[in-house]
Structure 1
């Protein structure tokens, strides 16, 4: 089916008269009639009932009118997005990656605000354990998370540093301490991320290097921050989680955070591939990402 045939048909639906439609389109009436007949032959269906002064749609014609209008709306959206790419250097879709398991609520708020500025730009936000690899391969446009400072294939800027703290149930005696040491945690079950979550490496490496005596503690491993906090709430054990979580805990959780002596910490950076050409849209998003913490 040619778009021109569909366009002529939709114009005929608007004016319901061959003479008026041909005048508006600037073509002859026989030429218009020929294209409508070709469309009917192609679809093997009668689309209009021809009258002396007006034409009415058949049921088949009504279906084509409804679907055809949708086709042209999508076509116009495609043209707008292409013009955005060609004439302004903007992008129609931005892919953001992270290896942080606890920032979904922060990112969601930012992306909602971003769409007010760029409503035609699609955004995709996904978790990657191998964040730097997908960034180097240009599978994502922007990364926000824990990035190497020595990777020469990416450009990264440090935006935030924070320590981990011990999250414990308010029913546990640890909740009443001002500070916790490794001695307080002997024999207490530790709740950590499961192995597919990048930040498990940070906690495990910190324990291995600084407090190997905690390696023999019983462990629970879970795939998400909220599942860890729910287990802490039930006093199954304690968890090392970022300090920034203390400001966004769900109200139903009966948990507290206590500072840890010589605690692990994380550096959060924004990065992009060194061979990426940033558009105005990318730069605006990167600027906004710097303020989410």
Structure 2
């Protein structure tokens, strides 16, 4: 039995179509047929019923499919572990991070962590905050860094940082002399670039400034570029705009009527392995210094 036969079987079972399987695997249809035949000979069971161009799984095919998936999964995990060992790693931690965190505070923290713990391999998955709880709950990641508190009951969640939110605008002439009311009349308000605070904040803003014009942009990095090009203004977490403020690409506009929210960073874990504890403790120390 060969792994390539099992992979062909798994893809064929998902499509129940040898032509689509061939396209997916960049093989010819005769090659697909040969793989399936060899696998059927190996386990002495017929896996598909063939009716012209159509195929369906047999009862044996349905029964064998979870086994095939498990064998391929173990094989690929074993190769990953061996490759990590060749690179000198003794441990591995998978981090699921929200884009807002990955593009701001995380790179510097990771650099210092990897310098201190060179034997721990770090893998980063960038996914939206609202998906991170499921990623940890299902075991696909060891640590989650999210802007949203998860709803999953089987994970641990801890607030590790509270970030102030400020109103920022383009660094052009005269804007620093304007107040909140003036800039909200002059510029569009770029909203919903943060997953947690915008619904409540926008309601508050519209109560005080019903004339405000808005534009939804669902990423902070894009929002910052838009503000630099004078397309609008926005309320953003200070850690996300520290560099732009320092370089005078953006400027802070003092709030007047609006009570500004805060932006939370959540550490989400499930299994408290040694590497998870090591990274979590290091991260909390780093966040305390922000």
TM-score category of the 2 structures, normalised to the smaller one? 0.5 to 0.7
Structure 2 counterpart SS, 1:191: strand
1:127 partnered with 2:135: no
Q: Indicate the RMSD between aligned Cα atoms, in angstroms.
A: 3.4
Whichever of the two has the greater Rg, that structure is 1
Judging changes above 3 Å, is the alpha-carbon distance between structure 1 residues 217 and 243 closer, same or farther for their aligned structure 2 residues?
same
Q: How many pairs are equivalent?
A: 203
The separation in 2 between residues aligned to 1:80 and 1:201, in whole angstroms, is 40
Match of 2:201 in 1: 206
Unaligned runs of 5+ in 2: 1-81
Match of 2:76 in 1: none
Identify the residue that residue 285 of structure 1 maps to in structure 2.
279
TM-aligned CA deviation for residue 232 of structure 1: 1.2
Q: Deviations over 1:13-62 (max 9, x none)?
A: xxxxxxxxxxxxxxxxxxxxxxxxxxxxxxxxxxxxxxxxxxxxxxxxxx
Contact 1:207-1:214 at 8 Å conserved across structures:
no
- Equivalent residue number for residue 136 of structure 1: 137
Paired residues for 1:142-157 under 5 Å: 142-148=143-149, 151-157=152-158
Q: Deviations over 1:1-24 (max 9, x none)?
A: xxxxxxxxxxxxxxxxxxxxxxxx
Q: Does 1:264 align with 2:261?
A: yes
Question: What secondary structure, in the 3-state scheme, does the structure 1 residue paired with 2:199 have?
Answer: helix
**Aligned partners of 1:76, 1:151: CA distance in 2, in Å?**
31
Query: Once the two structures are superposed, what CA deviation does each residue of 1:35-93 show, in whole Å capped at 9, x if it has no partner?
Result: xxxxxxxxxxxxxxxxxxxxxxxxxxxxxxxxxxxxxxx77935975xx4xxxxxxx32
Instruction: Between 117-126 and 250-259, report the one with greater CA deviation.
Output: 250-259
**What is the alpha-carbon distance in structure 1 between the residues aligned to residue 163 and residue 87 of structure 2?**
45
Contact kept in structure 1, 2:148 and 2:196, CA below 8 Å: no
User: Deviating runs (4+, > 6 A) in structure 1?
Assistant: none
**Which sections of structure 1, spanning at least 5 residues, go unmatched?**
1-73, 85-91
Please give the alpha-carbon distance, in whole angstroms, between the structure 2 residues aligned to 1:182 and 1:153.
45
- For residue 94 of structure 1, what is the aligned residue in structure 2? 93
Return the match for 1:233 from 223, 228, 237. 228
- Aligned residues of 2:191 and 2:217 also touching (Cα < 8 A): yes
Conserved? CA contact 1:189–1:237, under 8 Å = yes
